[in-house]
Chain A
């Protein structure tokens, strides 16, 4: 069985500060990894994904994440956040190379950016 743990439920930061949202996963098989963002009263939007290859993945809105297989982590980072980045962020995994798209999500991290 797979599981995802997002280590921080809430992360408050000031505008223009760097931020890291932490994600660890557990799986006995190869996985694909994803970060999604959810703004209030909206669905989820994909920020970035890791399927294979380079362990540093760049996404939309200036976000990036690094896949660390030995530590089973996939932390999300942004060097300088904006007020508009305030949202809930979800880390997710799916089984690699499977037919089907079932995602296992973490509980989410609420990022609050203040001025």
Chain B
């Protein structure tokens, strides 16, 4: 079974631009969660989508948004990029029947904002 895939793996943008990251979950998984990983703040939960609906949201500004398509693929968008948005963005998929279900992580997209 193929794992979680994220594209692109690396991205360089400048301040003020916007960016879209993509995540394809494991086949059959209906939940996709996004996390931001930085050296200073560690791993922080951004949001979760389940059956095309945002089910949970972390404490991030409205510049961070996402969506999920009917095939469970998900995208996250960051508008008006700031230097502090430089991070590894991880996507995880899960069967998500309960919060105890294992989340399977992709390799991440490393975003650098100049």
> Contact residues of A with B, CB < 8 Å?
32, 36, 41-46, 49, 51, 90, 92, 94-108
Interface majority SS (helix, strand, loop, mixed), chain B: strand
* Number of residue pairs A-B, CB distance < 8 angstroms: 74
CB distance from A34 to the nearest CB of B (A): 8
User: Within 8 Å of chain A (Cβ to Cβ): is B33?
Assistant: yes
- Number of B residues contacting the other chain (C-beta, 8 Å)? 28
Complex CA distance for A41 and B33, rounded to whole angstroms: 19
B98 touches A98 (CB 8 A): yes
Give every chain B residue within 8 A of A100 (Cβ-Cβ). Answer: 31, 48, 50, 55-56, 96, 99
A97 touches B90 (CB 8 A): no
Complex CA distance for A98 and B45, rounded to whole angstroms: 16
Interface majority SS (helix, strand, loop, mixed), chain A: loop
A101 touches B107 (CB 8 A): no
B100 touches A46 (CB 8 A): no
Complex CA distance for A107 and B107, rounded to whole angstroms: 19
B42 touches A106 (CB 8 A): yes
